[in-house]
A and B are shown apart, each in its own frame.
Chain A
Amino acid sequence: GENVEQHPSTLSVQEGDSAVIKCTYSDSASNYFPWYKQELGKGPQLIIDIRSNVGEKKDQRIAVTLNKTAKHFSLHITETQPEDSAVYFCAATSNAGGTSYGKLTFGQGTILTVHP
């Protein structure tokens, strides 16, 4: 099955700096890679996703890059703000059918702290 590794486990930055979180995946059939943000006591919320037919996607201060050859993808947050402080999860899945159909495999999470 799929295995997703996420680094770093904690990340501390100053307000205005950039933050980068990296994930690697093992299943070359995976073709959908969402990123979730989880605030304390709440469920994860989708912030951006990318499919395997594109290499980069951007939404305001957030961007995701995908390298299919190396099987890794990254989340980039620019001009960080204190409200960006949360736990971030990457995930991967394949729509290849069978028992993995629609199942997301999550990374271990990154605790991002943005200091004012």
Chain B
Amino acid sequence: DGGITQSPKYLFRKEGQNVTLSCEQNLNHDAMYWYRQDPGQGLRLIYYSQIVNDFQKGDIAEGYSVSREKKESFPLTVTSAQKNPTAFYLCASSPRQGSSYNSPLHFGNGTRLTVT
């Protein structure tokens, strides 16, 4: 079965610690994305990557970092600089967007991060 795997489903950390969220896809998609979801605010884009070894900041990148060393993997690190890290984090992928078309995103089932 092709899909996106996010792990772990629940993650607890102490304030001041960095934490890395895993995202793996076997859909052979070029593009991958990280979104943050908070109640009543929809999904906000943190980082995205159109191709291996390249990524761009989204709308709320401060306090986060990513890497894209492999096509199938796009881990997100929530650093201690992120002021409000407690949230539901969603990873997504899509075929590479073209100049004349957009492809839908395929989402994983998310990681709920709680920082105390």
In Å, the complex CA distance between A93 and B98 comes to: 13
A54 to chain B, nearest CB (A): 14
Inter-chain contact B102/A46, CB cutoff 8 Å: no
Docked complex: B74-116 residues within 8 A CB-CB of A:
90, 92, 94, 97-102, 104-110
Mask: chain B, 53-68; 1 = CB below 8 Å from A; 0 = not: 0001011000000000
| B43 close to A (CB within 8 Å) | yes
Residue of B nearest to A4 (CB): B42
Inter-chain contact B43/A49, CB cutoff 8 Å: no
A95 — which chain B residues lie within 8 A by C-beta? 97-102
| B17 close to A (CB within 8 Å) | no
B31 — which chain A residues lie within 8 A by C-beta? 102
Residues of A within 8 A of B (CB): 1, 4, 6, 9, 31-32, 34, 36, 41-46, 49, 51, 89, 93, 95, 97, 99, 101-109
